[in-house]
């Protein structure tokens, strides 16, 4: 069982306990552990074999025991006994918007509802609305929830939603009544997938602002509308972004910083910051930082002082206009949004040891590009001119060399021809250099598709897996290790082969690959194409910790794809990557020197 499977089971346990009506904090403990495991870079089976399960934050005695059972037997007693009391299918009903644990439990107890079709039928009979606490609206809302259920199952890849979100932001910026605006949430943290858009604005007239917003042509449906908050579904965009959900929140200018921090998250980062505030007798919420005055100290461990917290009225506001006010209040420097995941950034900030995250402008060239010699759309010269316009000093043309016919790969004689062509173009260009490169397939047995005598003539060899994805983990790991042991291989492309929302990463022991990359001085790629983002952020961080150099490359097949660099940089930043970790931040001369190091 892998990390995701274990996390899913823990989440299911939490859902079923929720429906059963167990203690909320116990349920949250399971959800917290599930989340921690989902975000682990290391494979949980390895952690288990080292007997270090309890070192995962949020995993204690009981949950470690559950995980152990799951790994050893593929099942666990706790889930089994829950399933005996509550049908497992009920946890799926909770994915329907508007249905939480209490309603699902009620529907099951009263009507034995366990599936979506049964629920639809029940609503059709109008038995629900006659019951105490349910009405016409409840029926309608559940029905709408069912219709949206499938549509919202998947999160949207960042790159798919990005242009759409930016356009909406620019449009809102020009709206009357809008002062400051920012899209917060996972979008601002630049997660690889986005569930919805959290739009934060300041306005002197929130009511008019909201009325204006809900009438925009981009809005398909208004789900909820209040004085300061509105939830809508956006219309399909030109690029298939069907019905993204958006929350718009209006705050006063003096609250902007606090709200920005609050709505950017992540949730567990925020909880941590609030806890630190509480230790300093501060209350931190989306309206600002408040000092608690004239109030008896609540000692942890002292007899509980029921209701004491809710009676706090003497709050003195000490900040919140700017985001840094929040950090300053708890004695921290500003933490960039991309690393606000409660994955050590708060501890690093406390020690004044935050990474100086790489920036897009640090990138001096693109080292994974396809021209019309293979499956790209543009000529080498066109690409070079565009790269030069972007301010780059160099690029590498890395067309395919592959047994796969569809990508029009280069054979040795075309490679030699291309090298000559690049030499000629280089003579024409000023202050710019084109590396002759290749993206060559790693064969099933780990050998390289091209002979070494050809590879030696190429400036930059990028090797990648493009076929036989379904090997066992041992075979795949061995295959890739053998490939990077080849002294002519400079870069390992998209090391896990995943396609976001489409294809899982192939089975591979990524920490073994990272260790071997360190030993053989092979560079690992962060492929910036938004459907790949591979290495992902946790793996990039693991590579950095093992002193492996990285390259951020677009894998562009057209000029427009060069813009995807930004998503690669985002991913690197989420992985705590600094300029010095990335080879295409080097100047041309530095890079030329650097590339001689292997072999």
Partner DNA sequence: GCCGTTTTCGGCCCGACTGTTTTCAGTCG
Say how far apart CA 353 and CA 557 lie, in whole Å: 39
Residues 93-132 binding DNA (CB under 7 A) are 94, 96-104, 129, 132
Say how far apart CA 453 and CA 487 lie, in whole Å: 12
- When binding is defined by CB under 7 A, the residue of 37, 44, 64, 161 that contacts DNA is 64
Residue 270 sits in the site that holds DNA (CB under 7 A): yes
Residue 317 sits in the site that holds DNA (CB under 7 A): no
- When binding is defined by CB under 7 A, the residue of 33, 197, 326, 551 that contacts DNA is 33
Please work out the total of residues on this chain that contact DNA, with binding judged by CB under 7 A. 65
> Minimal CA–CA distance to 366: which of 346, 388, 344?
388
> Smallest gap, in angstroms, from Cβ of residue 531 to DNA?
25
The helix/strand/coil state of 318 is strand
Decide whether 147 or 587 has the Cβ nearer to DNA. 147
> Minimal CA–CA distance to 365: which of 459, 277, 272, 298?
459
> Smallest gap, in angstroms, from Cβ of residue 55 to DNA?
9
Residue 207 sits in the site that holds DNA (CB under 7 A): no
Decide whether 135 or 412 has the Cβ nearer to DNA. 135
> Smallest gap, in angstroms, from Cβ of residue 562 to DNA?
33
The helix/strand/coil state of 423 is helix
- Is residue 507 within 8 A of residue 467, CB to CB? The reply is no
Strand residues in 148-285 grouped as ranges (E): 156-157, 181-183, 193-194, 196-202, 219-225, 229-234, 245-251, 282-285
Residue 328 sits in the site that holds DNA (CB under 7 A): no
Say how far apart CA 536 and CA 85 lie, in whole Å: 39
Residue 406 sits in the site that holds DNA (CB under 7 A): no
Q: Which two tokens stand for residue 228?
A: 């300061």
> Smallest gap, in angstroms, from Cβ of residue 545 to DNA?
22
> Minimal CA–CA distance to 28: which of 198, 267, 262, 266?
267
Q: Which stretch binds DNA (CB under 7 A): 227-235, 358-366, 495-503, 511-519?
A: 227-235
Q: Residues in the chain, how many? A: 599
> Smallest gap, in angstroms, from Cβ of residue 163 to DNA?
22
Q: Any bridge partners for residue 234, and if so which?
A: 219
- When binding is defined by CB under 7 A, the residue of 286, 362, 375, 578 that contacts DNA is 286
Residue 538 sits in the site that holds DNA (CB under 7 A): no
CA distances from 492 to 464, 514, 548 (A): 6, 10, 12
Q: Which stretch binds DNA (CB under 7 A): 24-32, 490-498, 531-539, 578-586?
A: 24-32
- Is residue 484 within 8 A of residue 513, CB to CB? The reply is yes
Residue 459 sits in the site that holds DNA (CB under 7 A): no
Say how far apart CA 436 and CA 434 lie, in whole Å: 6
Residues 174-193 binding DNA (CB under 7 A) are 185
> Smallest gap, in angstroms, from Cβ of residue 299 to DNA?
4
DSSP conformation class of 505: P
- When binding is defined by CB under 7 A, the residue of 45, 180, 228, 447 that contacts DNA is 228
Q: Would you tell me which residues interact with DNA (CB under 7 A)?
A: 23, 25-26, 28-30, 33, 54, 57-64, 94, 96-104, 129, 132-138, 141, 185, 196, 198, 224-229, 245, 247, 267, 270-271, 274-275, 278, 283, 285-286, 297-305, 309
């Amino acid at each position: 069982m892998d990390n995701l499977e274990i996390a899913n089971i823990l989440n299911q346990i939490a859902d079923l306990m929720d429906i059963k009506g167990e203690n909320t904090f116990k349920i949250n403990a399971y959800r917290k552990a599930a989340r921690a495991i989902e975000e682990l870079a290391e494979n949980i089976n390895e952690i288990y074999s080292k007997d270090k399960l309890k070192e995962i934050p949020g995993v204690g005695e009981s949950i470690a025991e559950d995980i152990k059972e799951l790994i050893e037997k593929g099942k666990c007693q706790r889930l089994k006994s829950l399933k005996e009391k509550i049908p497992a299918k009920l946890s799926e009903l909770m994915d329907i918007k508007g249905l939480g644990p209490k309603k699902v439990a009620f529907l099951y107890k009263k009507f034995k509802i366990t599936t979506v079709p049964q629920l639809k039928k029940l609503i059709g009979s109008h038995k629900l609305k006659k019951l105490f606490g349910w009405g016409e609206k409840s029926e309608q809302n559940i029905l709408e929830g069912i219709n949206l259920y499938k549509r919202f199952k998947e999160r949207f890849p960042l790159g798919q939603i990005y242009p759409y979100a930016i356009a909406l932001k620019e449009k809102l910026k020009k709206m009357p009544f809008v002062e400051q605006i920012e899209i917060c949430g996972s979008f601002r943290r630049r997660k690889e997938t986005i569930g919805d858009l959290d739009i934060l604005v300041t306005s002197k007239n929130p009511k008019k602002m909201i009325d204006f917003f809900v009438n925009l042509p981009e809005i398909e449906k208004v789900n909820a509308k209040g004085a300061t908050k509105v939830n809508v579904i956006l219309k399909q965009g030109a690029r298939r972004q069907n019905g993204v959900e958006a929350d718009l929140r209006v705050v006063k200018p003096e609250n902007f910083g606090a709200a920005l921090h609050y709505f950017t998250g992540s949730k567990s980062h925020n909880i941590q910051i609030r806890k630190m505030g509480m230790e300093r007798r501060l209350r931190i919420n989306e309206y600002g930082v408040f000092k608690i005055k004239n109030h008896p100290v609540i000692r942890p461990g002292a007899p509980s002082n029921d209701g004491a917290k809710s009676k706090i009225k003497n709050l003195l506001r000490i900040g919140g206009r700017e985001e840094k006010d929040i950090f300053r209040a708890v004695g921290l420097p500003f933490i960039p949004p991309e690393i606000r995941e409660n994955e050590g950034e708060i501890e690093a900030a406390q020690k004044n040891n935050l990474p100086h995250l790489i920036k897009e402008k640090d990138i001096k060239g693109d080292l994974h590009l396809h021209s019309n010699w293979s499956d790209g759309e543009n000529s080498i010269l066109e690409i070079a001119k565009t790269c030069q316009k972007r301010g780059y000093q160099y690029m590498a043309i890395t067309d395919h060399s592959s047994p796969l016919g569809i990508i029009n790969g280069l054979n040795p004689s075309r490679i030699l021809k291309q090298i000559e062509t690049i030499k000629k173009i280089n003579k024409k260009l000023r202050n710019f250099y084109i590396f002759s490169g290749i993206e060559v397939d790693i064969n099933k047995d780990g050998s390289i598709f091209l002979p070494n005598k050809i590879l030696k003539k190429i400036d930059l060899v990028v090797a990648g897996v493009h076929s036989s994805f379904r090997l066992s983990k041992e075979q795949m790991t061995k295959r890739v290790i053998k490939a990077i042991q080849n002294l002519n291989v400079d870069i390992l492309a998209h090391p896990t082969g995943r396609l976001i929302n489409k294809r899982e990463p192939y089975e591979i022991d990524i920490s073994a690959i990272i260790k071997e990359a360190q030993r053989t001085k092979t560079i690992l790629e962060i492929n910036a194409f938004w459907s790949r983002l591979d290495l992902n952020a946790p793996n990039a961080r693991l590579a950095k910790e093992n002193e492996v150099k990285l390259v951020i490359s677009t894998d562009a097949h057209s000029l427009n794809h060069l813009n995807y660099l930004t998503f690669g940089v985002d991913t690197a930043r989420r992985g705590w990557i600094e300029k010095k970790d990335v080879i295409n931040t080097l100047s041309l001369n530095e890079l030329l020197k650097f590339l001689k190091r292997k072999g």
